[in-house]
Chain A
Amino acid sequence: MDILPILSTLRRHKITAFLVIIEIALTCAIVCNAVFLISQRLDRIHMQSGVAEHELLQIVLTDIGVTKDEKARTLTDIAALRQIPGVTEVASVNQAPFGNSSWNSGIKLDPKQRVSTLNASTYYGENALQTLGTQLVMGRNLQPDDYMDFDDVVKAAAAKDPKGIPKVTVITQTLAERLWPGQGALGKQIYLSDYPITVVGVVKDLVRPSIFDDAAAKFSMVFPVRITEGQYLIRTAPENRDAVLKAALEKLKAINPHRVVLKKRSMDEMRHDFFQNDRAMAGLLVGVCVALLVVTALGIVGLGSFWVAQRRRQIGVRRALGATRRNILNYFQTENFLLATIGIVVGMVMAYGINLLLMVHYELPRLPAIYFPVGALLLWAIGQLAVLGPAMRAAAVPPVVATRSV
Chain B
Amino acid sequence: MFGYYLDLALRSLRRNKMLTALMVLAIALGIGASMTTLTVLHVLSGDPLPGKSGTLFYPQLDPQDMDGYEPGKEPPRQVTWIDGMNLLHAQRGDRQALMTGGAVPVQPTQSGMDPFYSDARYTTGDFFAMFQVPFLYGRGWSASDDEGKARVVVITRTLNDKLFAGKDSTGQTLRLSDTAFRIVGVLDSWRPNPHFYDVNMGNYAASEDVFVPLATARELRMDRNGSMDCWGSGGGDEEHLETATCVWLQFWVQLDSPAKAAAYKDYLVHYSQEQKSLGRFERPVNVRLPNLMEWLDINKVVPGDVRLQTWLALGFLLVCLVNTVGLMLAKFLRRAGELGVRRALGASKREVFMQLLVEAGVIGLAGGIGGLLLAFLGLWLVRRQPSDYASLAHLDVSMLLITFLLAVGASLLAGLLPAWRACQITPALQLKSQ
Binding site for B on A (CB under 8 A): 15-16, 19-20, 22-23, 26-27, 30, 34, 37, 62-66, 114-116, 154, 157-158, 160, 193, 260, 262, 273, 276-277, 280-281, 284-285, 288, 291-292, 295-296, 298-299, 301-303, 305-307, 309-310, 361-362, 406
Contact = CB atoms under 8 A, between A and B. Distances in A.
A277 B29 CA distance: 23
A64 B177 contact: yes
B164 interface: no
A15 B235 contact: no
Contacts of B22: 298-299, 301-302
A260 B421 contact: no
A23 B323 contact: yes
Q: List the 6 closest pairs (A to B, CB-CB), nearest first.
A: A65-B178, A306-B330, A276-B386, A299-B323, A19-B326, A64-B105
B221 A66 contact: yes
Contacts of A285: 312
A302 B330 contact: yes
Contacts of A115: 68, 70
A80 B22 CA distance: 68
Contact of B330 (A16, A260, A284): A16
B305 A281 contact: yes
Nearest to A304: B330
A64 B107 CA distance: 9
Given A62-B105, A295-B26, A30 B319 contact: yes
A406 B434 CA distance: 7
Contacts of B103: 62
A66 to B, nearest CB: 6
Contacts of A288: 33, 312-313, 316
Contacts of A23: 319, 322-323, 326
Interface residues of B, number: 55
B105 A15 contact: no
B118 to A, nearest CB: 10
B387 A277 contact: yes
B66 A62 contact: no
B68 A27 contact: no
Contact of B316 (A30, A114, A260, A307): A30
B223 A62 contact: yes
Contacts of A406: 434
B235 A157 contact: yes
B116 interface: yes
Contacts of A296: 319, 323
Contacts of A298: 22, 25-26, 323
A105 to B, nearest CB: 10
Q: Is the interface of A mostly helix, strand, loop or mixed?
A: helix
B178 A299 contact: no
A113 to B, nearest CB: 9
A277 B334 contact: no
A19 B325 contact: yes
Which of A154, A273, A299, A406: most chain B Cβ within 10 A? A299
Nearest to B388: A277
B134 interface: no
Contact of A299 (B26, B223, B331, B333): B26
Nearest to A277: B387
A62 B326 contact: no
B258 to A, nearest CB: 33
Contact of B319 (A27, A63, A114): A27
A20 to B, nearest CB: 7
B178 A64 contact: yes
A287 B115 CA distance: 44
B178 A362 contact: no
Contacts of B323: 23, 295-296, 298-299, 302
B267 interface: no
B326 A299 contact: yes
19 contacts: A23-B326, A37-B308, A64-B105, A64-B115, A65-B179, A66-B220, A66-B221, A260-B105, A260-B116, A276-B386, A277-B386, A288-B313, A296-B319, A301-B22, A302-B19, A302-B327, A303-B330, A310-B333, A406-B434
Contacts of A114: 66-69
A31 B385 CA distance: 23
B309 interface: yes
B320 interface: yes
B112 to A, nearest CB: 15
Contact of A280 (B33, B330, B334, B386): B386
Given A15-B417, A16-B330, A64-B107, 8 more contacts: A15-B329, A64-B105, A66-B220, A276-B387, A295-B26, A296-B323, A298-B22, A306-B331
Nearest to B232: A193
Nearest to A21: B322
A34 B308 CA distance: 10
Given A158-B235, A296-B319, A65 B68 contact: no
A27 B317 CA distance: 11
B310 to A, nearest CB: 12
B110 interface: no
Interface in B62-120: 66-70, 103, 105, 107, 114-117
A277 B326 contact: no
A165 to B, nearest CB: 11
A157 B230 CA distance: 12
B330 A65 contact: no
A362 B387 contact: no
Contacts of A37: 308
B312 to A, nearest CB: 6
Contacts of A295: 26, 29, 319-320, 323
A273 B385 CA distance: 11
B316 A292 contact: yes
Nearest to B336: A310
